[in-house]
Chains A and B, each alone.
Chain A
């Protein structure tokens, strides 16, 4: 069979193509780049979804944010609701690739590519996001933990299209952050990363979420770290215990960018930084986006 590409203008058309064996492409920043790098050849049958207007929408309602699959990292990073209420997601989106990547890379693509090092996964997981999946035969909604199955793998069937990401906005006194360790300023992939979401009741933490990036086969939460934070004052001691729990929960690979030992050691550092920034934001401090730079990480 020779290569083919069909440009879909509706979701119905796209899922019909998927049912017939096509693979979707939007910005191409993972799929096409991966093919150029020799990871996997481009699928023979492609359906381009970039023209589907419905999937481009981003809509903030009173208590929620709905992001169509085609919303780009640049749009998310600039969105006032994302910056003020889902700050960890802004931290993540603004450091993806370069400004060219952010202009064409999409939230749907970032999630469905399912890299354990993806930037948006930790924030979306800790903010309890769900995704809507549609196929020619029906639709369903799953949480991020349920979606991510392993490196490059999701639980979505090959004929399912990610249509939308949905997040219920957390209470306004919630602070969140995403911090990654990086060696260069652009086109970087997280060496390791951590997300924290914190809300206080008085001077004690009432709600805490912690997730790890590039430290396990998927982005995942660390319940022991969350338990260590809840009831604490988010001080040095509690953050240390949580950071140790993060290291204990990590099972990183060794690859060209870092050894497993180095990743585990750095897991405690990024976890401490993420927790400190989230706690400060929860207390109303203005820590600029991205937290990776604001918390002292990353090359200058």
Chain B
């Protein structure tokens, strides 16, 4: 039996009727109609369904929607204001990080979570963080290069401030 629940997705509150066994992915795609997150494997192997839940990456195909009540859900649609792109999304375009595009929403979410952590990730750290996101086109080089480019560009102002003796 469906129960009333409110989900907060990309800053907007959605009053919904949710089946207790429904996944977060199903609720967001089918009831809120945000179809950026994809269903790939439906058992947490591929990462195409990744969203941020309170800032942490979650495989939304295997997370119960009702457990997301009272928390902040971010999907790929929420990474930048409507009509705009985040620096990471732009870097994916510039570095050829998108081929068929199916893994892209999960990759962007996964990399966004990584880039929010303190410090500048090494290539090894980028590859480790994205290892839970499978690209069926095997286009990993462009993806990794895009993430590394953003990591470097975000750390540059800090480094130049440091060399100026700030």
A residues within 8 Å of B by Cβ? 2-5, 7, 25, 27-29, 32-33, 35-37, 42, 46, 48, 50-51, 74, 97-101, 103-104, 184-187
Contacts and interface: CB of A to CB of B under 8 A. Distances in A.
A100 B132 contact: yes
6 contacts: A5-B64, A28-B67, A37-B43, A98-B133, A99-B132, A186-B128
Contact of B67 (A48, A185, A187): A48
Given A4-B1, A51-B70, A103-B56, 19 more contacts: A5-B21, A7-B69, A25-B64, A28-B67, A32-B23, A32-B64, A46-B64, A48-B64, A99-B132, A100-B47, A100-B57, A100-B59, A100-B132, A103-B113, A104-B58, A104-B63, A185-B127, A185-B131, A187-B44
Given A3-B19, A36-B42, A99-B132, A29 B57 contact: no
A37 B46 CA distance: 13
A101 B50 CA distance: 11
Interface residues of B, number: 34
B76 interface: no
Interface in B97-117: 110, 113-114
B79 interface: no
B129 interface: yes
Given A28-B64, A29-B62, A99-B114, A3 B132 contact: no
Given A5-B20, A99-B110, A101-B44, A32 B62 contact: yes
Interface in B113-163: 113-114, 127-129, 131-133
B119 to A, nearest CB: 12
Nearest to A4: B20
B1 A2 contact: yes
Contacts of B66: 5, 7, 48
A33 B62 contact: yes
Contacts of B73: none
A32 B63 contact: yes
Main secondary structure of the interface of B (DSSP, over half): mixed
Contacts of B21: 3, 5, 35, 42
Contacts of B114: 99
Q: Give the residue among A29, A99, A100 with the most B Cβ atoms within 10 A.
A: A100
B61 interface: yes
Given A25-B64, A187-B45, A101 B69 contact: no
Q: Give the residue among B56, B59, B114 with the most A Cβ atoms within 10 A.
A: B59
Nearest to B41: A36
B1 A7 contact: no
Contacts of B127: 185
Q: Give the residue among A4, A32, A185 with the most B Cβ atoms within 10 A.
A: A32
Contacts of B20: 3-5, 46
A53 B87 CA distance: 36
Q: Give the residue among B23, B42, B66, B127 with the most A Cβ atoms within 10 A.
A: B66
Nearest to A98: B132
